[in-house]
Amino acid sequence: MDLAWLRANPRQLGMMVEHQRIRVTPVAGGDICVAERLTLDDGHELFTKRRPTPPPADFFAAEAAGLRWLAVPGGPPLPEVIAVDARTIAMAWITHGSPTAAAAEEFGRGLATLHRAPCPSFGAEWPGYIGTEPLDNTPAEADATWLEWYRARRIEPYLRRSRDAGALTAGDVAAVEAALDRADPPEEPASRLHGDLHPGNLLWGRDQAWLVDPAAHGGHRETDLATLRLFGGAPHLDRIMSAYQEHYPLAAGWAERIGLHQLHLALVHTTLFGRAFAGLVRAAAANDGPEPEPTG
């Protein structure tokens, strides 16, 4: 199998990976997917992901749609989607490097450009996923505010699941609801968001930072910037923010809204991993600075 054949027959990806003699090198890919590096007959290398158990039929299609939608001129680089089927997604291989201040500044400018790109509404035209969880991308009604959409589509489903699973207490739930009740974010046009932009989804290549593993949708641009601060923060975050602000300044008071924008990813973590991440939710609801390390 070579790259030209795969481009011409993208839906044969899973079958070819299973049944052809292709050089496969395991890659660290987390708990959700089996990640591998493929070396094709013509020497090209690909990064592939597949689920250990059969995923929903549109699982990898959603990732491919997001990667393609986020690829705007002047925006951050994203891996090219080479092929996708119901079982597997294959992308161009990215050679890893180390974070640099110059790459961080370039990324900040690129992210600002991405957030300025045309975006029709909050939500997206395809059903989404974040981790293994469904992500309700139902577009907002024409008269809906971002906060209304965010609360209904990004907070309440994961808050409910976390509460029902015992990951959050009644007090935690009340704190999240109170944070939403007192929030008054400025209204801005919808922006194209990565949607899961914690530091682990910023891949540092040889000379630039790449966006990977999106949960793409239209939302409030402060969300991507707020989640870059989670889990210790992205390397050279001050350079990222400075370059971003030069190209697309944030509205006054943005720092006071960081916790509001971190609530969604915090609740996704309690939904997926349980009460070990309850402290992350509490810190976001209180907007009281860096979250504690998970315990238990």
**Dihedral angle sign, alpha carbons of residues 203, 72, 246, 120:** negative
CA atoms of 243 and 105, how far apart (whole Å): 5
Rounded to whole angstroms, the Cα distance separating 271 from 202 reads 23
Q: What is the pLDDT of residue 33?
A: 87
Domains and CATH numbers, the chain: 3-92 (3.30.200.20), 101-286 (3.90.1200.10)
The CA distance from 191 to 189, in Å, is 6
**pLDDT, tens digit (0-9, with 9 covering 90-100), for 62-119:** 999 999 999 999 999 999 999 998 888 999 999 999 999 999 999 999 999 999 999 9
- How would DSSP label each residue in 85-150? -SSEEEEE---B----HHHHHHHHHHHHHHHHS---SSB-SS-EEETTEEE--PPPPTT--HHHHH
Q: What is the pLDDT of residue 289?
A: 44
- The answer to whether the CB of 222 falls within 8 A of the CB of 261 is yes
Whether the pLDDT of residue 30 is over 80: the answer is no
| 4-13 pLDDT tens trace | 888 888 877 7
Return phi, psi of residue 36, to 5°.
Answer: -145, 150
